[in-house]
């Protein structure tokens, strides 16, 4: 249903159009970018050695519908910056397919590793997706992010590879 292809500078416009506010940018990317998202920031992003960013394409049409990233910084394996940018495609099970494809890519590079991710506690759809795939909360790595005076709880979740139930 989806393919993960290398994210390049030709994909900047799609990503920028999906991020309509500072709050959305923080939800998607944490603090690595400043709002509004610019080509310059994205060019620097592509130079990061431990990050593997991807555009998400529908197999049926080739349409770019989102973005995701594998993060191998500090020897860890992390799923980061996952966004289904086409809002009409959210809530249809595509996220589960994307996460499964990301885990397969990590498993090829780092079999038997623990993969983690961070998600805001109010993002119930994402949390449900991750739990359905076998991710478990790692309370020792939970934190709080302050956005304009509001504390957002950050939940850390992890899964041990290989996964056999997906």
Give the CA distances from residue 66 to residues 18, 37, 93, 151, in Å, rounded to whole numbers and listed in that order. 9, 15, 14, 27
121 lies in which domain range? Answer: 2-160
Quick check: is 42 in a domain? Answer: yes
Does the pTM surpass 0.85? The reply is yes
**Total count of domains within the chain:** 1
Digit-coded pLDDT (tens) for 88-135: 999 999 999 999 999 999 999 999 999 999 999 999 999 999 999 999
> What pLDDT score was predicted for residue 166?
52
> What pLDDT score was predicted for residue 164?
73
Length of the chain: 166
Among 34, 38, 39, smallest CA distance to 22 is for 34
> What pLDDT score was predicted for residue 75?
87
CA separation for the pair 105, 88 (Å, rounded): 26
| Residues forming a β-bridge with 150 | 147
| Residues forming a β-bridge with 115 | 77, 159
Digit-coded pLDDT (tens) for 85-97: 988 999 999 999 9
Quick check: is 143 in a domain? Answer: yes
CATH number, position 135 = 3.40.630.30
Quick check: is 71 in a domain? Answer: yes
For residues 37 and 15, the answer to whether their CB atoms sit within 8 Å is yes
Quick check: is 165 in a domain? Answer: no
pLDDT grade for 163, boundaries at 50, 70 and 90: confident
Q: At what angle do helices 94-109 and 124-133 cross, to 10 degrees?
A: 50
In percent, the amount of the chain with pLDDT more than 90 equals 93
CA separation for the pair 59, 67 (Å, rounded): 15
CA separation for the pair 33, 107 (Å, rounded): 28
Quick check: is 166 in a domain? Answer: no
């Amino acid at each position: 249903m989806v393919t993960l292809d290398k994210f390049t500078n030709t994909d900047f416009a799609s990503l920028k159009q999906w991020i309509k506010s500072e709050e959305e940018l923080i939800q998607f990317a944490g603090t690595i970018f400043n709002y509004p998202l610019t080509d310059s920031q994205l060019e620097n992003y592509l130079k990061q050695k431990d990050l593997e960013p991807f555009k998400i394409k529908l197999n049926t049409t080739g349409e770019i519908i989102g973005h995701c990233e594998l993060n191998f910084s500090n020897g860890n394996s992390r799923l980061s910056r996952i966004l289904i940018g086409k809002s009409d495609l959210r809530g249809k099970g595509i996220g589960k397919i994307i996460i499964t494809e990301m885990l397969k890519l990590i498993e090829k590079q780092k079999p038997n590793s623990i993969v983690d991710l961070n998600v805001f506690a109010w993002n119930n759809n994402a949390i449900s997706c991750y739990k359905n795939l076998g991710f478990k909360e790692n309370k020792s790595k939970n934190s709080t992010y302050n956005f304009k005076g509001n504390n957002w709880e950050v939940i850390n979740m992890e899964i041990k590879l290989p996964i056999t139930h997906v």
